[in-house]
Structure 1
């Protein structure tokens, strides 16, 4: 396979890099692999440099802007050359064997300009297993197509995997002012330029959730801000599954009036009970144990996402 640029944005991924690089370098073909490092303070850079000495196809570049969007854009600008396809690989995910080859085959079979893939969360610690169960369910994702392994379909967004390099450059690549939701924002521009995005369920990847409640909170706060930024930029309205979490911060605000009357706590209490009960039911079907606590991370995701979204909207209106 020629004419393919594989880009791996990286920041402190020493645990994942050895296995990921070994897997990607074992793929057939002579395509280039670029790790765009955003200033890692662990051994990530040393790991890549050591592997690159034995594999000329692997290159390490600096990403001073640190954001994934900037790292991919920089790799394309410096090393994209005349590549036909761009493959984005995130260091903290697990990929099926033959991933790059199968992406190309799918794009050619479907006549797609982009191939996106579903994400299936898995956990190692108890909290991660609970978060993974929430993220694999409607409770945590509202039924987003790329968070569930379903059937192949044309979609407006999915986890980024393969993109037509010419179209990527034509629309200007990722928007580097976005730390979150840069993929969905780019998908809107790709579609407006005539792109066709195919969701391929057979290439679902494995994703490891954040290890703590605080990390998950910060992540989803950013997700909410990023989604709001995308909708503002493109003058779009949120979908129903994106609107529902916005009621949670409103319920929390109303609950501040509980000293006036206990009924003001009812909306927030009802939401919490639904999440906890739903998490128990979903977790029981997923094998029980820590999975039955999935309502807790789901609550964190809902509230953080809603607050992030509303904060970004409020900021725009105050400008």
Structure 2
């Protein structure tokens, strides 16, 4: 649960030395987004050009690496780190293991995001000011294509993300988990970094171990990023199925319980499936899946009206894809035999 606090970094000049910071962007086939991401990260203070910035590439088959290499002529502090394990967790661990001696702060940046000026410096400063072991931030989803826009409009609502604090949250404070932005490297190394057996949900798993070790996570709502969501059903399904599998692995590893917002998609999937099967012998049971579809259809209409755009009609499809894939991934992993 988020607790409000007066701490904020808005408008504060950076005091953390650039040499104390290492910025890392895990990437895999991000040719569409990587240049926009890097340029947004480099906007602001000239001190940003003194911060080592690694693009940890997991073996991209598109032009991601070529684009980064071209940008190095403009930003000499930029370099490519080859990540043979491909996963984001491995990328951060690899960067932390090879961090410069002077580095005490690791800033995680995502290639799908657009950052405000001085983001890296602000994250580092807020981490120091709060004394947190990790700093997390809110994500404000934005879209370019019609489906991306609908996805963005619905994901930050309770129907989309279930009200997660880091999804469009407005209040700063101490939290159990959030979207990772900055790490105290001493804490990161102390608890062993990310668990590389997690392809998804590695951040939530890290936060569980951090909490058990006595580390604290601070959500700074004054530092916000724009996140570009997946642009079609197939990619969105793959993303959220992975999230579901990761959450199930987390529950299995730590014995933690699901929150209500995480239980609802599972109930929606099971209820809809049960209703379809039961309707073969008792037709009123069809109200379960039809009721769920009606909720999604209503959400689509409301989003379209709110944003005065027919793109909003995709909102229900996006929400339903998130719910069903997350629940499917969770149940698939949770019922998998151990070993």
- When normalised by structure 2's length, the TM-score is 0.89
Contact 2:136 2:220 in 1 (8 A): yes
Contact 1:178 1:226 in 2 (8 A): yes
Q: In structure 2, the residue corresponding to 1:12 is in which secondary structure?
A: coil
Q: Alpha-carbon deviations, 1:252-282, whole Å to 9, x = none?
A: 3211232222122221111111122133224
Q: In structure 2, the residue corresponding to 1:131 is in which secondary structure?
A: helix
Q: Pairwise mapping of residues 241-252 of structure 1 onto structure 2 (< 5 A)? A: 241-252=261-272
Contact 1:4 1:32 in 2 (8 A): yes
Select the residue among 281, 286, 306 that pairs with 1:265: 286
- Whole-angstrom CA distance in 1 between matches of 2:119 and 2:218: 15
Q: Give the direction of change, closer, same or farther, for the CA distance of 1:277–1:202 in structure 2 (3 Å limit).
A: same
Q: Give the direction of change, closer, same or farther, for the CA distance of 1:34–1:135 in structure 2 (3 Å limit).
A: same
Give the aligned partner of residue 246 of structure 2: 226
Contact 2:36 2:114 in 1 (8 A): no
- Whole-angstrom CA distance in 2 between matches of 1:67 and 1:126: 29
Give the aligned partner of residue 11 of structure 1: 28
Offset at residue 169 of structure 1 (A):
0.6
- Whole-angstrom CA distance in 1 between matches of 2:304 and 2:67: 38
Contact 1:276 1:293 in 2 (8 A): no
Contact 2:58 2:87 in 1 (8 A): yes
Q: Alpha-carbon deviations, 1:283-307, whole Å to 9, x = none?
A: 4234443124311211111111111
- Whole-angstrom CA distance in 2 between matches of 1:223 and 1:19: 25
Select the residue among 250, 257, 281 that pairs with 1:237: 257
Q: Pairwise mapping of residues 145-164 of structure 1 onto structure 2 (< 5 A)? A: 145-164=165-184
Q: In structure 1, the residue corresponding to 2:317 is in which secondary structure?
A: helix
Contact 2:57 2:82 in 1 (8 A): yes
Contact 1:280 1:293 in 2 (8 A): no
Give the aligned partner of residue 217 of structure 2: 197
Give the aligned partner of residue 301 of structure 1: 322
- Whole-angstrom CA distance in 1 between matches of 2:337 and 2:203: 21
Offset at residue 173 of structure 1 (A):
0.6
Contact 1:174 1:186 in 2 (8 A): yes
- Whole-angstrom CA distance in 2 between matches of 1:198 and 1:249: 33
- Whole-angstrom CA distance in 2 between matches of 1:184 and 1:67: 15
Give the aligned partner of residue 117 of structure 1: 137
Q: Alpha-carbon deviations, 1:45-90, whole Å to 9, x = none?
A: 1222233355442221111111111011111112343411000001
Q: Pairwise mapping of residues 121-200 of structure 1 onto structure 2 (< 5 A)? A: 121-200=141-220
Contact 1:156 1:197 in 2 (8 A): yes
- When normalised by structure 1's length, the TM-score is 0.94
- Whole-angstrom CA distance in 1 between matches of 2:201 and 2:308: 31
Q: Give the direction of change, closer, same or farther, for the CA distance of 1:82–1:47 in structure 2 (3 Å limit).
A: same
**Higher percent of residues as helix:** 1
Let me know the Cα RMSD of the aligned residues.
Answer: 1.7
Matched, 1:107 2:107: no
Structure 1 residue ranges without an equivalent (≥5):
none
Q: How many residues matched?
A: 318
- Whole-angstrom CA distance in 2 between matches of 1:23 and 1:239: 35
Structure 2 residue ranges without an equivalent (≥5):
1-16
- Whole-angstrom CA distance in 2 between matches of 1:260 and 1:99: 58
- Whole-angstrom CA distance in 1 between matches of 2:212 and 2:307: 39
- Whole-angstrom CA distance in 2 between matches of 1:236 and 1:212: 32
